[in-house]
């Protein structure tokens, strides 16, 4: 079976990203830097061809996907299953606030306990199941093709671990920059990492944002 090539982009920056505030399913818009980053991604990918563009339906992802899809001449299709993980009652809090209000949960959060659901959110296996299903379905729908995905940091965390055969638990030790470009291939249910956290296209975008 021919491999399907995926280009996967994290959404541009939001004010809550800058404040290290947990967004989850809350619909937070891009800030000025995030919009400049989205335009930079669009310029960088404009010469490539894709069979489909799928994006999380949250505003920060769709606002990143829209200029890219426009540059490609293809419509961005919202895909709710590509949403960030649901962080339960902790959505809207900074990491410091989480540790202040829920100190007993700290070890489970730091070690990425698979059974932990942020008190009403998603467990890691449930989250991973819904997002990896999107990739596997797109690979079957576009064998030998190219698909662009626009999603979130937690989504990319799971994709990286799956492509390298790593478990879901344990701390993150790899970067996931806003508007970074990542590439993987999927064939016959096997995932292979091709490129990770490319940011060369973002240097020019910083000049657009007033200091």
Domains of the chain, each with CATH number or no CATH? 4-202 (3.40.50.1240)
Other Cβ atoms less than 10 A from the Cβ of 188: the count is 10
Looking only at the bridges linking them, the beta strands covering 76-78 and 190-198 are: unpaired
List Cβ neighbours of 1 (8 Å cut-off, separation of 6 or more). 143, 187, 188
- The whole-number pLDDT of residue 206 equals 61
**Element holding 54 (H helix, E strand):** strand 52-55
Catalytic positions: 11, 84
Q: Quick one: tokens of 54?
A: 């799928």
Cβ-in-10-Å burial (0-12, 13-18, 19+) of 120 comes to: exposed
pLDDT digits (tens, 9 = 90+) for 66-103: 999 999 999 999 999 999 999 999 999 999 999 999 99
Chain mean pLDDT for the chain: 96
Taking the C-alpha atoms of residue 203 and residue 206, their distance in angstroms, rounded to an integer, is 6
Taking 90 as the threshold, does the pLDDT of residue 165 lie above it?
A: yes
Taking 60 as the threshold, does the pLDDT of residue 209 lie above it?
A: no
Task: Report how far apart the first and last C-alpha atoms of the chain are (Å, whole number).
Answer: 50
pTM, rounded to two decimals: 0.95
């Amino acid at each position: 079976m021919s491999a399907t090539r995926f280009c996967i982009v994290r959404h541009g920056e939001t004010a809550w990203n800058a404040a290290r505030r947990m967004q989850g399913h809350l619909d937070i818009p891009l800030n000025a830097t995030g919009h400049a980053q989205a335009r930079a991604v669009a310029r960088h990918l404009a010469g490539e061809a894709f069979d489909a563009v799928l994006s999380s339906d949250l505003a920060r992802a769709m606002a990143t996907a829209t200029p890219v899809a426009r540059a490609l001449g293809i419509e961005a299709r919202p895909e709710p299953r590509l949403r960030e993980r649901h962080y339960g009652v902790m959505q809207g809090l900074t990491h410091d606030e989480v540790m202040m209000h829920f100190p007993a949960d700290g070890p489970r959060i730091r070690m990425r306990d698979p059974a932990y659901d942020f008190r009403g959110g998603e467990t890691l296996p449930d989250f991973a199941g819904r997002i990896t299903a999107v990739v596997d379905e797109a690979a079957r729908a576009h064998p030998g093709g190219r698909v662009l995905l626009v999603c979130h940091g937690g989504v990319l965390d799971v994709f990286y671990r799956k492509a390298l055969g790593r478990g879901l638990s344990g701390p993150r030790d790899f970067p996931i920059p806003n508007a970074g470009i990542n590439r993987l291939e999927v064939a016959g249910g096997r995932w292979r990492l091709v490129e990770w956290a490319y940011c060369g296209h973002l240097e020019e975008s910083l000049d657009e944002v007033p200091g």
